Amino acid sequence: MTMAGKICLVTGATDGIGLETARALAGAGAEVIIHGRSAEKGARSIEAIALTAPEAKLSFVQADFSSLAQVREMADTLNARFDRLDVLVNNAGAAAHATHELSQDGYELAFAVNHLAPFLLTHLLMAKLTDAAHARVVNVSSLAHTMNALDIDDLMTRKVKPINAYARSKFANILFSNELARRGAGAGITSNALHPGVIASNFGKQATITRIFYKYAAAFMKTPAQGAQTSIHLAMSPQMEGRSGGYYANSKPAKADPRTQDAALAQRLWAESARLTGI
């Protein structure tokens, strides 16, 4: 599964499954762009990957996904620096919170970071994806999407408990992935979503509500390297060539909530997301 000559962007790649996904792509010969919020962690990640892939071309781009302005700046940087993008792994995300928290733009935080930011970034990089032959977009969702379906009339999760915002944002990931698959078909772009499994990483430590669970259940969780395997499969495997609009777990097709197949709902979410991000 050589990736020689490919240019790949992995968001949220300074830790956890994002870092392992970037490591695998670099090891297969790809030029890998690592995204993160911290330049210091970005530098450490590049050093770590270079130990196992010393010949890899690696670079870092910084942006806080709770700010749509920073997402736009990141896209401007990438559009100026690269002539195409072969693989985009939308991996960055925010964990569940027990209180109602807002992004820098005033949107519910999990929805903003987990959905609106990758939605905007993908849109702004669409020309670069189109310029690549058979580009792939990989969207990291979660089995948590089955716990609370997206309410298109309550995208900011004001009518239910804040903890449901994470599940709804992961539901949105699949709707977005499916609609992108439909819209990208004519441009040779495939889009697939996935559940990585429950991972023993720093992700669950972002909020008190999940910190205790992750502490005591870590022994039964996947390692980041194991959790990254489905992302890697969707990004690299020849078996995925031309396959689009799917949902995967353990590198195999999986059953998502049937409501994620609602094309009308996906189109409504796309329209609302376009309005909220100002595109």
Q: Which residues are catalytic?
A: 166
Largest CA distance in the chain: 51
Query: Contact, 155 vs 112, CB < 8 A?
Result: no
245 phi, psi to nearest 5 deg:
80, 20
Neighbouring C-beta atoms of residue 16, cutoff 10 Å: 23
Task: Locate all alpha helices (DSSP H) within the chain, ordered by sequence.
Answer: 16-27, 39-52, 68-81, 109-111, 117-124, 126-131, 164-184, 208-217, 224-227, 229-236, 263-277
Q: Looking at the DSSP assignment, which residues form a beta bridge with residue 102?
A: 108
Query: Contact, 256 vs 174, CB < 8 A?
Result: yes
Distance in angstroms (rounded) separating the CA atoms of residues 254 and 233:
14
| Angle made by CA atoms 191, 90, 175, in degrees to the nearest 5 | 50
Encode burial over 237-260: b for 16+ CB neighbours within 10 A, e otherwise: eeebeeebbbbbbebeeeebbeeb
DSSP letter for each residue of 130-163: HHSTT-EEEEE--GGGGGS---TT-TT--SS-TT
Beta-strand relationship, 58-62 and 87-90: unpaired
